[in-house]
């Protein structure tokens, strides 16, 4: 995709990755984009770059506007290779280019690349870069998404270059949330938050507080669509809700895998019990739903019920994968339920229960069925 003019002197020069379907374990059915931005001033500034494989797209897009050798400054908001991978190409073209990044950013760039001799300017919150008529203000946002993260605010145009924050894995020819509709953009942002940002709620809250005083006319993240006009307030509001681990008391997810159908029978009974109490419940069979899709679905659910047949004195591999993934992402403020079936040894329910307890979920009574003896299953409701 060609470069896109955002405002006079400011351009999107990134790359669209329509084909990526797995982002280190996170399923990305709609691809993604690596957004980089070019600001033309007395000092010409590139904000972030793209994944290394897309380096030529970046260079081509910059070349539509200026000779890439003329770039004076690179702001590296984040070292993860989806944003820093093509910086090497720009440095090759202009070895003296100034690189503005955080202290951890400098460490990360030096550890990833042959970058010991790069021309670094280490910045912290409150530091500024004046490029002529424009002023960039830097705010450190560690752990959104790595320890090196920062955001850059272009004061005169009220643009927040937010890197991973407010991003979405969404490939499109459209560049603005208003073009695809705020509902679709928020849906993709929720999926991204659930699978990338969720563990860092404390850091998100701090970032929202630090960014609160800024007047923002455009949020330009490093993935997906830019948040413009009326799409900005709902996006910020959602980050408040999500970092609060706000969830819906009337929603439940019943997530399981089953060998011969007994665990699924329990799952369906659990759904009926929720429905009888006016709670919406959804069945998620992990044979058919990827763990990252399951995470997206449970973002707003108060109840997280997980079930597995006992398999070889353990749990089904799909359920083990889901539990490991969810535990790492660490949803909070939830009520859990462990359930399952077994033939003789029957370890699965205990394994699930212990894992949900490590997530600090409040727990409902477990449900355990041998073979298909459902005689006690229907005696009482889960709630
Ligand atoms: Fe999009 Fe943490 O990199």
Residue 6 confidence class, pLDDT cut points 50, 70, 90 = very high
CA 123 to chain centre: 25
- Nearest in space to 13 (alpha carbons), one of 21, 5, 3: 3
Tokens representing residue 244 in the block:
């609060």
- Nearest in space to 82 (alpha carbons), one of 167, 206, 140, 203: 167
Which residues neighbour 56 within 8 Å (Cβ) at sequence distance 6 or greater? none
Q: Whose C-alpha lies nearest to ligand 1, atom 3?
A: 80
- 223 counts as catalytic: yes
Using CB atoms within 10 Å of the CB of residue 85, give its burial: 0 to 12 exposed, 13 to 18 middle, 19+ buried: buried
Put simply, whether the predicted model's pTM sits higher than 0.85 gets the answer yes
- 72 counts as catalytic: no
The predicted model gives 337-356 an average pLDDT of 98
Residue 37 to residue 47: CA distance in whole angstroms: 5
Give the model confidence (pLDDT) of 40-70 as tens digits: 999 999 999 999 999 999 999 999 999 999 9
Give the model confidence (pLDDT) of 209-252 as tens digits: 999 999 999 999 999 999 999 999 999 999 999 999 999 999 99
Question: Which of 100, 153, 170, 192 is flagged as catalytic?
Answer: 192
Ligand 1 mean position, distance from CA 196 (Å): 8
Ligand 1 mean position, distance from CA 152 (Å): 15
Residue 258 confidence class, pLDDT cut points 50, 70, 90 = very high
The three-class DSSP label of residue 230 is: helix
* Beta strand extents in 204-363 (DSSP E only): 218-221, 227-228, 248-257, 280-285, 301-308, 310-311, 314-315, 335-342, 362-363
Which residues are 281's β-sheet partners?
252
With contact defined as beta carbons under 8 Å apart, do 102 and 123 qualify?
yes
pLDDT (0 to 100) of residue 358 = 97
- 78 counts as catalytic: yes
Tokens representing residue 214 in the block:
């800024």
Residue 208 to residue 200: CA distance in whole angstroms: 12
Question: 54-77 burial string, b = 16+ CB within 10 Å, else e?
Answer: bbebbbebbeebeebeebbbbbbb
């Amino acid at each position: 995709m060609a470069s896109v003019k955002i405002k006079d002197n400011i351009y999107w020069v990134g790359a669209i990755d329509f084909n990526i379907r797995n982002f280190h374990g996170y399923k990305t059915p709609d691809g993604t984009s690596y957004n980089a931005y070019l600001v033309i001033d007395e000092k010409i500034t590139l904000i972030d770059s793209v994944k290394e494989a897309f380096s030529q797209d970046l260079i081509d897009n910059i070349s539509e506007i200026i000779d890439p050798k003329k770039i004076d400054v690179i702001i590296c908001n984040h070292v993860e290779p989806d944003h820093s991978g093509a910086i090497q190409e720009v440095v090759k073209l202009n070895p003296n280019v100034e690189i503005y990044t955080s202290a951890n950013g400098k460490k990360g760039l030096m550890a990833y690349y042959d970058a010991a001799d790069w021309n670094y300017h280490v910045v912290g919150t409150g530091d500024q870069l004046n490029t002529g008529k424009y002023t960039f203000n830097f705010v450190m946002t560690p752990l959104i998404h790595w320890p090196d993260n920062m955001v850059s605010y272009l004061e005169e145009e009220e643009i927040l270059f937010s890197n991973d924050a407010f991003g979405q894995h969404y490939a499109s020819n459209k560049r603005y949330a208003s073009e695809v509709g705020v509902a679709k953009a928020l849906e993709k942002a929720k999926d991204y938050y659930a699978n990338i940002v969720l563990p860092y709620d404390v850091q998100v809250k701090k970032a929202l507080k630090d960014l609160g005083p800024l007047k923002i006319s455009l949020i330009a993240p490093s993935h997906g669509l830019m948040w413009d006009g009326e799409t900005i307030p709902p996006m910020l509001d959602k980050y408040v809700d999500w970092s609060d681990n706000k969830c819906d008391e009337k929603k439940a997810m019943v997530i399981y895998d089953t060998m011969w159908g007994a665990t699924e029978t329990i799952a369906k009974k659990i759904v009926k019990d929720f429905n009888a109490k006016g709670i919406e419940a959804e069945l998620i069979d992990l044979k058919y739903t990827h763990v990252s899709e399951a995470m997206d679905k449970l973002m707003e659910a108060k109840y997280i019920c997980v079930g597995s047949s006992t398999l070889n004195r353990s749990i089904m591999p799909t359920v083990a994968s889901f539990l490991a993934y969810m535990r790492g992402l660490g949803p909070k403020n939830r009520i859990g339920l462990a359930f399952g079936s077994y033939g003789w040894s029957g370890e699965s329910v205990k394994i699930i229960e212990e894992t949900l307890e490590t997530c600090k979920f409040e727990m409902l009574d477990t449900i355990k069925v041998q073979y298909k003896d459902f005689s006690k299953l229907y005696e009482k409701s889960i709630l």
